[in-house]
Amino acid sequence: MATLSDSPVETHYRNCHICEAVCGLEIKVQDGQIVSVEGDKQDPLSRGYICPKGVAIKEMHGDPDRLRMPRRRTATGWQEISWSDALDYAADGIVDVQKRHGDDAVADFIGNAYGTVYGIMTHIGYLRNVLNTHNSASLASIDHISHLMSSALMYGHQYLLPIPDLDRTEFVVMAGANPLASNGSLMTAPGIRDRLKAIKARGGRLVIIDPRRTESAKLADEHHAIRPGTDAALAAAILNTMFEEDLVNPRALTRFLNGLDEVERVVAPFTAARAAEVTGINADAIRQLARDFAGAERAVWYGRIGTCAQTFGAITQWLFSLINIVTGNLDQPGGCMLNTPAVDLAQDPHIDPGRYNEWQSRVRGLPSFGGEIPASSFAEEMLAPGEGQIRAFVCIAANPVLSFPNGRKLDQAFESLEFMVALDPFITASSRHADVILPAVPHVECDHYELAFYSFAVRNVTKFIEPSIKASDAGMADWEILVALAERIAARKGISIEPTLSPAEMVDLALQHGHYGEAAGHPAALSLEKLKTSPHGIDLGPLQSRMPECLQTDDHQIHCAPDVLVNDLARLESDLFSSPKSDDLILIGRRHVRSKNTQTQNCQRLMRGPNLCTLFMHPDDLALRELHDGDIVRVTSTVGEVCLPVTSTEDISPGVVSIPHGFDHGRDGVQLSVSSQYPGVSANDLTDDRRVDPVTGMAAYNGAPVSVGPLAAN
C-alpha cells in the first residue's frame, strides 16, 4: 500500500458494526485515519468475508457531516457547545419536564445501536433507572419483538432465541427473509451466500417463502410466492398436515413438552385447502412441504422481518417454533438451536426475561413487553393531550421519523415536544428536531464486545475489540454520555446512584462467570485479558444442545400453547379467513446489499449507481393502470402518499408492490450532504401507526393496502 506519509501503518482487527453479520475486519490505520478495510481471514466466523458496506467504513468514518462536538439549537441555528454545557442543558430540560408533568412525560427510544454499541446495552439501564418512565421503547418493537415474545412465553426468557444451525442443516425454510441482501438477521452468519450454497452442495434443500422472488429465492431450490401477511395461515396448515398425517415426532423433546395436545386441537381448523385460499400457495404444495420438512433428518424453519412486521407477527413466530418442535428439530444439530454465548444475556439478572403486559400505553392500551412499550404508540402519546402525555424525548442512536410507522405524524409529534435530546452523530430527519444533540465518538474509536450478535451466531465464538483509532480527548463514548446524563439527572432529582463499571469491566466479569469461564470450570477460562491476546477472536465450537437445562419457565418445560397466542388464533380466523378479500395493492419492504436501514445513505461509495429507492411492481399491475417502467408514480395509503419511480419486474407477485425503507433524507434541516443528493422517499410515510399486531403492538410495516397511480392524478 503506497501512502504519502512516513508514519507507520498500524493493523487492527475488529468487527464491522453495520449489520448483524459482524464480519471480522482488518483495518489499516495511519496518522489516525483509516487507509484500508479488508475482511479478516482469521476471524473464526466470517473467515475473510466482507460486503460493500464493510469496505465503506473508511468513507463513513471520515464523513465530514459527522458531528465532533455537541450542538444546541438556538434562534439563529445550531451552535457548537462543550460537553459539560450540553449535558447540563440536556439534564435541565428533562428534569424540568418531569417536575412539571411527571416522570412519564419523558420517553426514550434506542435504535439499532442497542445491538451494535455494547456500551448502550450495558448502560441504558443506568439512565432508565433515573428517568423512571413507563414510556421507554427500543428497536425490538419495530423489528423483532415477535421473536422475543415467542421465546419468553415458550422458553421462559426473551433471549433464549434459537437460530438456524445453518452449517449442519439439510433442509432450511426461510420465510420473509432475504439474507443475500441483509446478510442475515437474528442469525449471525457472515458470508451467508456460501453457507446457503454449502447446504445445497451437501445434498440439502433451501426453500424461500416470500411475496417477491428475491436474490435469496433465486438461489433456492424452491420459492413459494405467498400473499403478504398470511404466513400464520401457512404455518398453521403445515402443523395441521403434520398432525393429520401422523408426521409429528418431537424426538428428544417429548419429555419436556407442555401443551402439545392443545396445539393439535387449535390448528385443526386450519387445513391446507383453506390456507391455499388465503396464502395463494397451492394446497398440494403446502402438504408436500409439510411432508418433506418432517421427513428431513436435520431441518429448520426460520422466519424474519417479513413474517414479524405484520398484523399476525406474534402467532407466526410461535407457529414457526412449533414446526421445529413437532419435527424434533429444536435444540438438535442441523435444526434450530441456541447459541452458548460466552456472555449469556439470558443469564443476566439485570435483563428483563420478557414480562408481558405489565402496563399499557395511555391512549390505545398497547401492551408492555420486557419493560418497554411499543414504539408505534409514541406519536399519539406525544400528540394526545391529557395526564401522562409525552412532552420530552430522548432519542438514542435512532432515526424514528424514517423508521417508525407514519413518519409524517411523528415529524409533527416531535415538533410539538417541549424538549428533545438526541444521541446522534448526524443531523438527521429525527435529530433535527432536538434541542441538543450529543454525538458519541464513532465505533472504530471504541472498544466493543458483540453482546447481542454473538448470542445469535451460527457458531459459538468470542472476541474482544479494542479501539482501532484513538478517540479524541474531547470525545465521549455512548456509555459515557448515558452515565454522565444519568448522574446529572439524578443530582437534579435528588436521587443517589451507585458508581458503575465500564462496559469492558462488566464483560470481563460476565466472561469469567459465563459458560466458558473459570467459575464454571471450563478449560477455556475466558476473561477479558485472555480475549485481548486473541484479536481475531476464539472459536468455541459448533452449536450445542442445551435443553431442558437452560429453560427458564416455571416448570422447566417448553410451553407449546401459551394462552395469549392460542387465543389470538380467533383473530386469524376472523380477520384473515373470514374477511372479504380487498382489491388494494399490498405494500412490502425490501433490503439491498448496498443499504442498511437509515445509516448508510450518506456514503457516496454505496449510493452511486442505480437508484435503490424505486417502487417494484408487476408488469400486469402496471398495464392495468397504463403505467410504464420508469414512470414517476404516486403511491397512496391510509395515512399519506409518496411519489417515486416505478420499476417493472416479474419478480414481485401481482397485487404486491415494494419500497425499500430508510430513505428520504431530503427534509428541511437535514445535514447529510451525500444523502441529500439521493433523497428517495420514506416507505414509512405510508405505513399506518394504527395498523399493528395487537398482541405485541408492533406496527405492521408489511401488508399495508395502497393504491398506485400516475403522478398527474389527484
Binding site for ligand SF4 (CB under 6 A): 16, 18-19, 21-23, 50-51, 53-54, 183, 190
Q: Degrees (nearest 5) of the Cα angle 74, 76, 81?
A: 45
C-alpha cell at 535: 484479536
Residue 430 Cβ, how far from ligand SF4 at the closest point, in Å? 22
Q: How far is CA 130 from the centre of its chain?
A: 26
Pick between residue 49 and residue 516 the one whose CB is nearest to ligand SF4.
Answer: 49
In the chain, % helix, strand, coil (3-state, to 5) comes to 35, 20, 45
Closer residue to ligand SF4 in complex, CB, 22/127? 22
Q: Helix, strand or coil for residue 710?
A: strand
Q: Prior bond to 164 cis, omega within 30?
A: no
Q: Which C-beta is closer to ligand SF4: that of 16 or that of 296?
A: 16
From the CB of 679, what's the least distance to ligand SF4, in Å? Answer: 22
Please state the closest distance from residue 454 (CB atom) to ligand SF4, in A.
Answer: 13
Q: Please name the residue that has the C-alpha cell 400528540.
A: 383
Parallel, antiparallel, or unpaired: how do β-strands 106-110 and 392-396 relate?
A: parallel
Residue among 50 and 642 whose Cβ is closer to ligand SF4:
50
Residue nearest ligand SF4 by beta-carbon distance: 54
Closest CA to 562 of 416, 371, 696, 393: 696
Name the residue nearer to ligand SF4 (CB basis): 51 or 615: 51
C-beta of 189: minimal distance to ligand SF4 in Å? 10
C-alpha 695/C-alpha 704 separation (Å) is 18
Minimal distance in Å, beta carbon 539 to ligand SF4? 18
Query: Which CB atom, from 15 or from 684, has the smaller least distance to ligand SF4?
Result: 15
Of how many residues is the chain composed? 714
Cβ at position 660, least distance to ligand SF4 in Å = 16
Question: Closest distance between ligand SF4 and the C-beta of residue 54, in Å?
Answer: 3
Contact status, residue 192 vs residue 51, Cβ threshold 8 Å: no
Pairwise CA distance, residues 477 & 465, whole Å: 14
Closest separation between CB of residue 41 and ligand SF4, Å? 14
Query: What kind and span of H or E run contains 224?
Result: strand 222-224
State the sign of the Cα–Cα–Cα–Cα dihedral 453, 457, 463, 465: negative
Q: Measured from the CB atom, is 443 or 618 closer to ligand SF4?
A: 443
Our CB check for ligand SF4 shows the closer of 39 and 514 to be: 39
Q: Using only C-alpha atoms, what is the Rg of the chain? A: 25
Helices 272-279 and 231-244 cross at an angle (nearest 10°) of 160
Nearer to ligand SF4, 54 or 156 (CB): 54
By beta-carbon proximity to ligand SF4, the closer residue of 226 and 457 is 457
> Looking up cell 439512565, which residue turns up?
127
Q: Identify each DSSP E strand in 8-151 by its residue range.
A: 10-15, 24-30, 33-39, 71-74, 77-80, 106-110, 136-138
Instruction: Please say which residue, 19 or 390, places its beta carbon nearer to ligand SF4.
Output: 19
Shortest distance (Å) from residue 450 CB to ligand SF4: 11
Minimum gap (Å) between residue 22 Cβ and ligand SF4: 5
**Strands across the sheet with 436-438, in order?**
77-80, 71-74, 436-438, 419-423, 392-396, 106-110, 136-138
How far apart are alpha carbons 324 and 307 in whole angstroms? 16
Grid cell in block for residue 83: 460537553
Using the minimum distance from each CB to ligand SF4, give the nearer residue, 53 or 212: 53
Alpha-carbon span 145 to 139, nearest angstrom = 8
In the chain, the amino acid numbered 490 is A
- Least spacing, CB of residue 306 vs ligand SF4, in Å: 19
Q: What contacts 156, CB < 8 A, 6 or more positions away?
A: 353, 551, 552, 553, 554
Q: How far is the CB of 51 from ligand SF4 (least distance, A)?
A: 3
